């Protein structure tokens, strides 16, 4: 009787035997090697194939300086999730308000005003614009 060093189970009918590579492993009298379940490689589950998106898959929101998926992109890749520009503007800019990083902070208006003063960053009045692929404020 031998104990498997991997699964820690007593293996009745198995004895330590030298393998072809010169290592020792458990083999029974029928000539079968101990097939330790703990030593088996786990089957790797493959996920979804990687989706490569390009610049033309997005639209630039000039009211909050972000890129949003185009409707066509969301139709083509339904598992992406997210909102298109129309839904984005309806949710974040219903009154055509221009937003900056401070506006997206989850804090009260008083705290936002305090941070604006500390950072010397007044509330933005002009829309953002895109120059090539670089954002210019």
pLDDT at 114 over 90: yes
Its pTM stands at 0.56
Phi-psi label, residue 87: left if phi above 0, alpha if psi -120 to 50, beta otherwise: alpha
pLDDT of residue 41: 62
Residues 25-48, mean pLDDT to the nearest whole number:
73
Residues 86-104, mean pLDDT to the nearest whole number:
91
pLDDT at 117 over 80: yes
pLDDT of residue 70: 94
C-alpha span between 85 and 130 (Å, rounded): 16
pLDDT at 137 over 50: no
pLDDT at 39 over 70: no
Tally of CA atoms within 13 A in the half-sphere of 91 that contains its CB: 11
Residue 29 has phi, psi (to 5 degrees) of -70, -20
């Amino acid at each position: 009787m031998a104990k498997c060093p991997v699964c820690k189970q007593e293996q009745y009918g198995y004895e330590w035997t030298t393998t072809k590579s010169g290592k020792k492993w458990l083999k029974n009298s029928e000539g079968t090697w101990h097939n330790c379940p703990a030593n088996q490689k786990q089957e790797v589950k493959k996920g979804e194939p990687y989706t490569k998106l390009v610049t033309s898959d997005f639209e630039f929101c000039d009211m909050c300086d972000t890129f949003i998926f185009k409707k066509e992109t969301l139709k083509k890749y339904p598992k992406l999730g997210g909102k298109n520009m129309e839904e984005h503007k309806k949710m974040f800019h219903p009154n055509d308000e221009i937003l900056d990083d401070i506006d997206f902070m989850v804090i009260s208006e008083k705290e936002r005003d305090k941070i604006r003063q500390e950072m010397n960053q007044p509330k933005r009045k002009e829309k953002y614009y895109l120059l090539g692929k670089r954002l210019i404020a």
